[in-house]
Structure 1
Amino acid sequence: MALAIGVSVANPFYSQSLLPAVQGAFALPPGAVLQGPMATQLGMALGFLFLLPLGDGSERRRMLTLLALGMALACGAVLLAPSFGVLVSSWFALGLVALIPSLLPSFLASFTPDASSGRMLGIVLSGQFSGILLSRSVSGVAAQLWGWRAIYALSAVAMVGVALLFRSRLPPLPPTSGASYWSLQKSLITLWRRHPRLRRSCLSQGLLFGCFMALWSAVALHLAGPPWRLGPALIGSFGFVGLVSIVAAPTIGRLVDRKGPDRIVLAGVLCTGGGVLLLGLQASAIPALALGLMAVDLGVQCSFVANQARIYAIDPAARSRMSGQLFLIAYLGAAACSAAIATFWGQWGWGGTCVFAISLVGLAVLIERGSWWPDKN
């Protein structure tokens, strides 16, 4: 499952190290290419809102298989896009069906004892962060060798393989709710109102993931400019800094089981803030950029594992819907942050991006104030 999540989650993130190449291929003005990540993240947010609730009301193995085939078709559309407008629309479609990483953990949670849920999430989400972070390296190398479109041809084939894997290896899992689709949609509002821990998890994760995506979208443009002027492969190689958070994921899961999710979420927020400060203060030093990105990745990984464990403990019958809300807010935050950067990048560049990112972390610290003293929470 970790492997399937890694292969699936990489698709919406291949574009990040390809942005300079796409900008040159379509002769776009500075910052306009950032509309691509914004469209992908908006598509993901809408998928979480309108499609993911079906995970509680339908047979999930079938749904996972159809989503994998949908991602294969969307990758084919990106591969053949004749203009930037069509490319943005194809990236939006790819985001819309990119629900496997949010549906598969709740699927696995149905078969896992509560005492081991944190460790399980750590292992599975290590695959998710592997896909997100290493996607930049893989797409950068592929672009350097065969052009920026090549990675989408490879991914279309890989997603057909994932669909076959789901169909042949996963057990069927009947619906956890017999409610109609619209009843499930209405229940999202009820869940949001009823559970303050759900609201806190969604809002803090939205801010942190927005910070994460803003920095990773902007760093490609930062490294492609002076004084470095790096190519796609070298820009993509920065994805390897995420190996620390990938290796640490199972340990993070065990800490969630032992210490509770609140403390681990707060630790993730503070780690992310430290990374952003380093990125802003040492913007011209490659080692400092690598260390800063490493800290941001590790912090967001901590918060994602702990926030999912926190919401899965609320109501086992509504895990897909609550997971959908967590990912919805996370990717709405990412889309909003990408749109903001596309607006001010030409004027403020990397420095403005880092100031923007640290303000997001500060808001997350305030939202998680109930985690400062967990025993009193």
Structure 2
Amino acid sequence: MSSTHTAKQHPHLTPLTLWIMTIATGLVVANIYYNQPLLADMANTFGVSDKKAQQISLFTQIGYATGLLFIVPLADMLKRKRLILIDFVLMIISLIASAMAPSVTILMIAGFLVGVSSIIPQLLIPMAAHLAKPHERGKKIGFVMSGLLIGILLSRTLSGFIGEHFGWRSMFYIAAGLMLLIWVMIFLFLPEIEPDYKGNYGKLMKSLIHLVKTQPKLRLAAFRGALCFAGFSAFWTTLVFLLKQPQFNEGSAAAGMFGLVGAFGAVAVGFMGRLSDKMDAYKLSIYTLSLILISFIVFYFSSHSIIGLIIGVILLDMGVQATHISNQSIIFALIPEARNRINTVYMVSYFIGGALGTFFASLVWKNYEWNGVCAIGAALSVIVIIVHLLNYKKSSATATDVR
């Protein structure tokens, strides 16, 4: 496949631009996770089972993977700011549709569209890598990723509180209003970046296959990310149901508060971003993957302990997000002009893993409840550590350009 690349001047990554990217990333990614602490409330509203309600989260994650696959690659071919602004319109409409959903089926469809349109962070993170100086790339990615982490975790705190006091529908109306404010910020302050890719959309999509075939480091990073996020999603999807059991007897607000606990991991994310600029990413990943395994061991012995769950959440969020930054530092250094397509391959794998983690957690919860979910998370962690150790040497081949 052929394409033409031209060298272009691009704006520098100013502090204002970096902050806008970080704030937008956090608030947009939150849209994907608002529903998780609210699933039990949604089940009550529509008179459906917990398993059925969990499909709302599943459809949202599938929608996100769909947007990653078909929309994010366009950022290598189209003007990025324009693409982002158009995507915001679909997002706002989808959030309002979620708030007004008359049935669980409509809510699933709206959730899918929320997922499709909430891919903006995956346009902004490669954009930050593109604008940053090479020796600061990990640091800048880490800064934007801290916004992503805070958005993911505090989204549960916010939605749990709103759901408890104002009803779950109010959360989606509030989210739509926040997206309108961010649209204005992006319109006024985000710089435009001209695309490098000159081929058509068909060739653009075919180049994804070429990247998978020729980039072993990308394949390994995608595998690590997928399994880590599968365990992460399995935990967060089922936590609300554990907390509603008699030993805790807590509601959606309590589940959301665990997001506040996990936000402490954002401090570690910034540190890991700087560390990834100086330390071998392979060695760093061994430590971060081990944190995830330890977290599920802690969870297994904490089915009756709030303190144990808190410790586990901190370890899990630090491990998953630090692994994510390490992965992105590796893949964004491969082929600069194909960063959005590389990010597509990685993030589609990442959220397919998340969707599968949600799906299998709902099945296991029905029969084995919390211990089964912890066993899944621990097993996934062991697998990814083994594969990482066995395949790293094979992934050290020199990157080749997209042809």
Structure 1: 5+ residue runs without aligned partners?
none
Q: Distance in 2 between matches of 1:42 and 1:69?
A: 20
Aligned counterpart, 2:373: 353
Q: Corresponding residue for 1:250? A: 270
Write out aligned runs for 1:103-118 (5 A).
103-118=123-138
Which stretches in structure 2 are left out of the alignment for 5+ residues? 1-20, 398-403
Identify which of 42, 55, 76 aligns with 1:56.
76
Deviations 1:125-150 (A, max 9, x none): 00000000000000011112210111
Residue 248 of structure 1: how far off its partner (Å): 1.6
Partner residue of 1:173 out of 185, 193, 197: 193
- Given that 1:266 and 1:372 are in contact with CA atoms closer than 8 Å, whether structure 2 keeps it comes out as no
1:164 is paired with a residue whose SS is helix
Is the Cα–Cα contact under 8 Å of residues 22 and 148 in structure 1 kept in the other structure?
A: yes
Match of 1:290 among 288, 305, 310: 310
Task: Tell me, yes or no, if the aligned pair for 1:142 and 1:151 is still in contact at 8 Å.
Answer: yes
Report how far residue 265 of structure 1 moved.
Answer: 2.0
Aligned partner of residue 53 in structure 1, secondary structure: helix
TM-score by length of 2: 0.91
Q: Residue 370 of structure 1: CA displacement?
A: 5.1
8 Å CA contact 2:229, 2:357 repeated in 1: no
Offset at residue 340 of structure 1 (A): 1.4
Which secondary structure state, in structure 1, belongs to the residue aligned with residue 278 of structure 2?
A: helix
CA offset at residue 97 of structure 1?
1.1
Q: Does 1:99 align with 2:119?
A: yes
CA distance in 2, matches of 1:263, 1:98: 32
Identity %: 29
Distance 2:319 2:393 in 1: 19
Partner Cα distance (1:112, 1:30) in 2: 45
Letter in 1 for 2:114: L
Distance (Å, rounded) in 2 between the aligned partners of 1:111 and 1:258: 20
Partner Cα separation in structure 2 for residue 358 and residue 29 of structure 1: 27
CA distance in 1, matches of 2:139, 2:78: 27
Q: What is the distance in 2 between the residues matched to 1:246 and 1:70? A: 29
Partner of 1:156: 176
Residue 266 of structure 1: CA displacement? 2.0
Q: Which amino acid aligns with 2:104?
A: F
Say whether the 8 Å CA contact 1:263–1:372 is kept in structure 2.
Answer: no
Question: Contact 1:5 / 1:127 at 8 angstroms: preserved in 2?
Answer: yes
2:336 equivalent in structure 1: 316
Aligned: 1:336 with 2:356: yes
Query: Counterpart amino acid of 1:333?
Result: G
Aligned to 2:17: none
Structure 2: how far apart are the matches of 1:355 and 1:118? 33
Q: Residues 313-346 of structure 1: CA distance to partner in whole angstroms, max 9, x if unpaired?
A: 0000110001111110011011111111222322
Q: Does 1:10 align with 2:30?
A: yes
SS of equivalent to 2:72: coil
Query: Which residue is 2:290 aligned to?
Result: 270
User: Would you say the 8 A contact 2:79–2:195 is kept in 1?
Assistant: yes
Give the distance between the partners of 1:306 and 1:30, measured in 2 at CA: 35
Cα distance in structure 2, aligned partners of 1:372 and 1:183: 30
* Alignment-derived partner of residue 211 in structure 1: 231
Q: Distance in 2 between matches of 1:204 and 1:58?
A: 30
Q: 1:241 Cα deviation (Å)?
A: 1.4
Q: CA contact under 8 A between 1:2 and 1:126: conserved in structure 2? A: yes
8 Å CA contact retained: 2:240, 2:251: no
> Given that residues 122 and 305 in structure 1 are in contact (C-alpha distance below 8 angstroms), is that contact kept between their aligned partners in structure 2?
yes
User: CA–CA distance in 2 between the matches of 1:176 and 1:162?
Assistant: 26
- More moved, 156-165 vs 5-14: 156-165
Q: Deviations over 1:103-122 (max 9, x none)?
A: 10111112111110010011
Partner Cα distance (1:162, 1:129) in 2: 18
2:9 counterpart residue number:
none
Relative distance call for 1:373 and 1:293 in structure 2 (3 A) is: farther
Give the C-alpha shift of residue 371 in structure 1: 7.8
Q: Distance in 2 between matches of 1:69 and 1:366?
A: 43
CA distance in 1: counterparts of 2:28 and 2:391, whole angstroms? 32
Q: Return the alpha-carbon distance in structure 2 between the equivalents of residues 141 and 371 of structure 1.
A: 44
Given that residues 76 and 340 in structure 2 are in contact (C-alpha distance below 8 angstroms), is that contact kept between their aligned partners in structure 1? yes
**Is the 2:238–2:362 contact (alpha carbons within 8 Å) kept by the matching residues of 1?**
no
Q: 1: CA distance between counterparts of 2:188 and 2:67?
A: 25
Distance across 2 between alignment mates of 1:147 and 1:127: 26
CA shift, 1:32, in A, is: 1.8
Does structure 1 residue 126 correspond to structure 2 residue 146? Answer: yes
Question: Distance between the aligned counterparts of 2:282 and 2:214, measured in 1?
Answer: 19
CA offset digits 1:61-84 (Å, max 9, x no partner)? 011111222211110010000000
CA-atom RMSD, angstroms?
1.6
Q: Look up the match of 2:56.
A: 36
